[in-house]
Structure 1
Amino acid sequence: MIARLLTAALLAIALAAPASAASRIKDVATLQAARDNQLVGYGLVIGLQGSGDSLRNAPFTEQSMRAMLENLGIASEGGRARAKNVAAVIVTANLPPFVQSGARIDVNVSSLGDATSLAGGTLVMTPLRAADGEIYAVAQGSVIVSGFSAQGQAEQLTQGVPTAGRVPNGAIIERKVEASLSDTASLVLQLRNADFSTAVRVADAINDYTGSRFGQRLAAEEDARTIRIRRPKGISFARFYAEIENLMVESDGPARVVVDERTGTVVIGNDVRISRVAISHGALTVRITEMPQVVQPEPFSRGETAVEPFTQIEADQPDAKVAVLDGPDLQTLVSGLNRLGVKPDGIIAILQGIKSAGALQAELVLQ
């Protein structure tokens, strides 16, 4: 029997990849000193074509607009503003490490009120603060929105999210975060995915390199996520890290099956194993059809025409199969699932049943 292939939406598996692919240290670990810092600010987007906040439902927008005009020396007392070309927004950004004053970064803009779209708007100068309350950047510029919304009298079409956008290079760094490696005695690497085996392999790869390059072992694993490296003499930290970040290591991790029931996606890790188990799977379909019949009286019988109910019930259970699964490796496991010829929801139910039976030698993650 030729196995039927599951669709790409069902199984996202890279069968062509080797059992343990080698990766660069920079791809599996990050430098602890080189961390991003989150920035946030409150501002106004102007120039909207009637798609801004309704000032009656969003009073903070009107207050912010009046405060901005007063700062510009324009009196705004008396009367209520009715313009709908202004929207209150929250501006967020990530401040990269080692960034200097005057550099530019991208910012994200999200509507705070009841605006329907930010398309065509311009973000007015907005200070961006960090968790310490200090201003580190100032954002301003045209908002780029990928989504759109069109509305008529009887129908409305919305694609994407028109109330959120982005300002490329929209923020100028006003203050840098102090992060110097020149006076540091050691640097710390943190694995993106914590694993003791990977931590030991990273430390061994670095020690093999530094042993031949500097004549000493400089790296030591501290836990499943942290590797500490001492700086050798006679070389800067930047040049030293540039040499070791391209070393190749084989990353490891726990066997895991990720199931997304909403989209029917199943992702099976390469190390997933299934003990020998028998599976029976079949879908039961019940069809109920109502076919009322009209009954006519005999001629000259003074009877009345009546409707007689008639119900037809059909039960069908196609493709009911019993299969034996034994997954010593990933390809055998996938071939066994293919032989059952079930749909994505059936695969998810089978995996949950195998886990409950104790035959799935992996962690089952439901999303």
Structure 2
Amino acid sequence: MTNAFPFPSIRPIRRLVSALVGLALTLALAPPAQADRVRDLGEFQGIRSNQLTGYGIVVGLPGTGDDNLEYVTQAMRGVSGRFGLQLPPGISPNLKNAAAVLVTADLPAFAKPGQRIDVTVSTIGKAKSLRGGALVLTPLYGADGQIYGMAQGNLAVGGLGITAKDGSQLTVNVPTVGRIADGATVERAVDTGFDHGEVLRWNLFQADFQTAARVRDAINARFPQTASVEDGVTVALRLPAGADRRASLMATIEMIDVTPAQAQAKVIVNSRTGTVVINSAVRLSPAAISHGKLVVRIDEKPQVSQPNGFSNGRTVVTPSSQISASESTAHVALFKPGASLSSLVDALNKLGVSPSDLVAILEALKEAGSLKAEMEVI
């Protein structure tokens, strides 16, 4: 018996199902878009380190100090007076075993009194080496003139300086800078203000309106009506007051993934080393580049004529010059509209350009309006 309503062939259906399964696997295995954490794109305003500095004296040096410089003498009089010892007026002590130094340190955010931080000690006079020295108790001041730490301890110096009796010298690394691990004690805390105030601001490391908008959208997707963009750098966050709740929300916000905007097209040229860096956003309009080298060579071969025997003649030098010029074959590279970084690099490699030639070519492309990028010389 013949079926009046035949079923369609099953092969096209199988092919369609196979294609859909393959597409699903491709999407599942495709690499995700590059995303960065919020904490890698910026930082919360006010939560930062603060610089400290102080003026002190390093003692115990093996004759490599500042000798009897006036400011070292004054400093030593102040140190001695602190312990009740008054040096006789008009007498300049021999201070080859002491050196005047500047002490610097970074006070981390949320550092509390009693915690210890590292300090760096650097000479400011004629001291040749700080190896073997010890820093006398030195106050560390902030930008507001207040004391935030006290430093003291034995220096660790990575450099070495040696002077022989004949005046010859040998210096390894930098012996006039030392470091004291945990050499300072924090005496005063800095109020960051993160746990109070209606708005807490988060700042991008690099200004970009699109990235700031994406950070706002990512935060609002997790915590609705929390974030708003103030400018190309700052995102304002309205978080509940209280250190515990606010810290928990800040920790969660820092770990949110955000895909930043594509970087601005830029070419960086280091004029000192000849290094050229081109980022992936650089594009080229239609352009053709011709590159060739002209080499001029001058060879000087003077001819010397001497008199014969015991004649009264004299030796004469006759100049003889030979000039030659050669020009290598010029190659032309054609760039199509929207040529990318890889096309530019491949073409310039085929032309065999040097770093200086590369800079000249890029400047010419920029001047011709073909290079769509900002050039920065450092």
1:41 aligns with 2:49: no
SS of residue matched to 1:243: helix
Q: State the TM-score, normalized to the length of structure 1.
A: 0.85
SS of residue matched to 1:184: coil
Provide closer, same or farther for how the CA distance between residues 144 and 319 of structure 1 changes in structure 2, counting only shifts above 3 A: farther
Distance in 1 separating the partners of 2:241 and 2:315: 106
Matches within 5 A, 1:156-175: 156-175=169-188
Matches within 5 A, 1:200-211: 200-210=213-223
Whether the aligned pair in 1 keeps the contact of 2:197 and 2:241 (CA below 8 Å) is no
Name the amino acid aligned to 1:79: I
Distance in 1 separating the partners of 2:119 and 2:294: 53
Which residue in the other structure is 1:134 paired with? Answer: 146
Distance in 1 separating the partners of 2:100 and 2:299: 56
Which residue in the other structure is 1:9 paired with? Answer: none
SS of residue matched to 2:285: strand
Distance in 2 separating the partners of 1:359 and 1:159: 50
Identity %: 46
C-alpha deviation, 1:313, in angstroms: 3.0
Name the amino acid aligned to 1:217: Q
Match of 2:194 among 165, 181, 184: 181
Which residue in the other structure is 2:157 paired with? Answer: 145
Whether the aligned pair in 1 keeps the contact of 2:73 and 2:95 (CA below 8 Å) is no
What whole-Å deviation, never above 9, does each CA across 1:99-149 have from its counterpart, x for those lacking one? 111111122222211222223322221101111111011111222333333
Name the amino acid aligned to 1:28: L
SS of residue matched to 1:335: helix
Distance in 2 separating the partners of 1:286 and 1:246: 62
SS of residue matched to 1:352: helix
Provide closer, same or farther for how the CA distance between residues 233 and 30 of structure 1 changes in structure 2, counting only shifts above 3 A: closer
SS of residue matched to 2:137: strand
C-alpha deviation, 1:164, in angstroms: 2.4
Name the amino acid aligned to 2:40: D
Which residue in the other structure is 2:284 paired with? Answer: 274
SS of residue matched to 1:92: strand
Which residue in the other structure is 1:239 paired with? Answer: 248
Distance in 1 separating the partners of 2:32 and 2:294: 39
Name the amino acid aligned to 1:53: D
Provide closer, same or farther for how the CA distance between residues 233 and 87 of structure 1 changes in structure 2, counting only shifts above 3 A: closer
Match of 1:220 among 215, 224, 228: 228
What whole-Å deviation, never above 9, does each CA across 1:260-306 have from its counterpart, x for those lacking one? 11112122122112223222333444333332212245679864442
Higher alpha-carbon deviation: 78-87 or 290-299: 290-299
1:112 aligns with 2:112: no
1:357 aligns with 2:357: no
Name the amino acid aligned to 1:293: Q
C-alpha deviation, 1:48, in angstroms: 2.2
Which residue in the other structure is 1:10 paired with? Answer: none
Gaps of 5+ in 1: 1-17, 211-215
Which residue in the other structure is 1:213 paired with? Answer: none
C-alpha deviation, 1:347, in angstroms: 1.7
1:265 aligns with 2:275: yes
Distance in 2 separating the partners of 1:346 and 1:157: 40
Provide closer, same or farther for how the CA distance between residues 197 and 157 of structure 1 changes in structure 2, counting only shifts above 3 A: farther
The higher-RCO structure (CA 8 Å, 6+ apart) is 1
What whole-Å deviation, never above 9, does each CA across 1:319-344 have from its counterpart, x for those lacking one? 64333345632222222222221222
Provide closer, same or farther for how the CA distance between residues 206 and 64 of structure 1 changes in structure 2, counting only shifts above 3 A: same
Whether the aligned pair in 2 keeps the contact of 1:33 and 1:187 (CA below 8 Å) is no
SS of residue matched to 1:236: helix
Distance in 1 separating the partners of 2:167 and 2:352: 44
Higher alpha-carbon deviation: 117-126 or 91-100: 117-126
What whole-Å deviation, never above 9, does each CA across 1:214-269 have from its counterpart, x for those lacking one? xx321111100000111158970111111110111122332211111111212212
Which residue in the other structure is 1:315 paired with? Answer: 325
Distance in 2 separating the partners of 1:155 and 1:310: 46
Which residue in the other structure is 1:249 paired with? Answer: 258
Whether the aligned pair in 2 keeps the contact of 1:285 and 1:317 (CA below 8 Å) is yes
The structure carrying a bigger helix percent of its residues is 2
Distance in 1 separating the partners of 2:196 and 2:212: 25
Higher alpha-carbon deviation: 291-300 or 74-83: 291-300
Distance in 1 separating the partners of 2:326 and 2:226: 68
Q: Which has the larger radius of gyration?
A: 2
Provide closer, same or farther for how the CA distance between residues 316 and 74 of structure 1 changes in structure 2, counting only shifts above 3 A: farther
Match of 2:238 among 230, 235, 240: 230
Distance in 2 separating the partners of 1:177 and 1:287: 68
SS of residue matched to 2:188: coil
C-alpha deviation, 1:88, in angstroms: 1.1
Provide closer, same or farther for how the CA distance between residues 121 and 286 of structure 1 changes in structure 2, counting only shifts above 3 A: farther
Provide closer, same or farther for how the CA distance between residues 352 and 68 of structure 1 changes in structure 2, counting only shifts above 3 A: same
SS of residue matched to 2:61: coil
Distance in 1 separating the partners of 2:117 and 2:299: 63
